[in-house]
Amino acid sequence: MTNLNGYIVLITGGSSGMGFEMAKQLLTQGATVVIAARTGAKLEQAKKTLENFGDAYAVAMDVTSEESVANAATWVIENFDHLDMVVNNAGIGDNAPGMKELPKEHHFYEIPVSTMKAVIDTNFIGYFIVARKFVPIMVKQGHGSLVYVSTSTNTMTRPGQLPYGPSKAGAEAMTTIIANELKDMGIMVNIICPGGFTDTAMAGEDVKEFFQKNNMPILPPTIMNKAISFLASPASAGITGKKFVGKDMDVWMKENGIEMDF
Ligand SMILES: NC(=O)c1ccc[n+]([C@@H]2O[C@H](COP(=O)([O-])OP(=O)(O)OC[C@H]3O[C@@H](n4cnc5c(N)ncnc54)[C@H](OP(=O)(O)O)[C@@H]3O)[C@@H](O)[C@H]2O)c1
């Protein structure tokens, strides 16, 4: 297992689900991890739990608010002398405002504009705001890694996946642009996704029930741990503009001759 002592990571949406599990994984490897989410008891409770695994911090951040992200960036600059990785993981989907009120089988024209805006605001513009504020820290120090947490490619265009799918498709396109712009500046920019329905707070109970009833695979929230550990390790040096699928990491590493002990 790579020793990550001195490696500093910020994970948006680190208060639950996959963000929380990635934080735990990197802490276990010795990294310093700052989790960020909207202010509240949930964030504090998550930090308290994570403190059992290592050097954990929490900072309030609403990714949809430029001011909130700027305040969090200032806090990071004041408290740490560098920042190695930012994981843009905060997101909403079936839990977005207005989604629950929609019939299970609905047409796109039934989706309230406010729901569309809320999802784009968090998953697309929120990602831009975070990258815009935190990447300059990496540019200044001459190294860093930006990770975007996305979804499976077929989710982006499957009927019923508006607005979530397109919000992630747009963010992946943005990631490609950012990766190309930063490729000669020592900053790696990559995408990770679980590779299927994952058991987290975001996933609606009804969807989970449907998966269970039909014996369809449900991935655990730890599914991204190998991908994030790999991207934080020296083995990933120089890799940029790529998409990694959590559930396929073992196969990918084998095919690429990478041996890692998790
Ligand atoms: N679950 C799946 O099947 C699945 C599949 C593919 C991809 N993903 C992606 O995985 C990522 C993590 O989601 P998850 O499944 O682990 O769900 P989750 O447990 O609901 O985690 C989402 C996190 O984002 C935070 N968040 C939401 N809105 C925010 C905002 N405006 N500002 C800051 N933080 C915000 C939440 O905390 P607060 O609400 O306290 O702010 C929470 O910590 C998301 O980007 C999601 O799209 C999920």
Residues 164/119, Cβ–Cβ less than 8 Å: yes
138, part of any domain = yes
91 CA to middle of ligand 1, Å?
A: 4
**232 lies in some domain:** yes
Query: From the CB of 147, is ligand 1 less than 6 Å away?
Result: no
For residue 152, what is the domain's CATH number? 3.40.50.720
Question: Is 260 within the bounds of a domain?
Answer: no
pLDDT tens-place string over residues 83-103: 999 999 999 999 999 999 999
Residue 1 inside a domain? The answer is no
Residue 261 included in any domain: no
Residue 184 lies in a domain: yes
Structural domain for 157, as ranges = 8-255
First to last CA, the chain: 5
Number of independent structural domains in the chain: 1
Q: How far is the CA of 191 from the centre of ligand 1 (A)?
A: 15
Q: Say if CB 36 and CB 13 are below 8 A apart.
A: yes
pLDDT per 10-residue tile (average), the chain, 262 residues: 96 98 98 96 98 98 98 98 98 95 93 98 98 98 98 96 97 98 97 97 87 96 98 97 98 94 81
Give counts: helices (H), strands (E), the chain. 9, 7
Q: Take atom 4 of ligand 1 and give the residue whose Cα is closest.
A: 198
Q: Is 17 in the pocket of ligand 1 (CB under 6 A)?
A: yes
- Residue 60: CB atoms within 10 Å: 15
Domain assignment present for 3: no
**Is the distance from the beta carbon of residue 16 to the nearest atom of ligand 1 less than 6 Å?**
yes
- Domain-located, residue 25: yes
- Model pTM? 0.98
**Residues with catalytic roles:** 164
